Amino acid sequence: MHALCMADMAYAMLNIGAWGDVERVALELIEHAADITPRAYASIRRLAIAVAHATDAPTTVRDILHTLVLAIHRAT
């Protein structure tokens, strides 16, 4: 698992509205929150902010990304 690549891939998926894929990536990243590097964390924060501003983002995806950011923050 390479969190940086996964976060960047999820960002690309967000741009085409592939919300199910964004959700799956975020759930996988949560499982590895303790191992996420600062650089990957920055990419995940960018993803979370983009989702928060996306008017068509499902609430579940917003919640999962919020949980992911908190999990990473707690692990560091």
Contacts of 15 (CB under 8 A, 6+ apart): none
> Looking at the 3D structure of the chain, how many domains does it have?
1
pTM for the predicted model, two decimal places: 0.90
pLDDT of residue 75: 81
Contacts of 72 (CB under 8 A, 6+ apart): 33, 36, 41, 44
- Convert the pLDDT of each residue in 21-61 to its tens digit: 999 999 999 999 999 999 999 999 999 999 999 999 999 99
Range of the domain at 53: 3-75
pLDDT of residue 61: 97
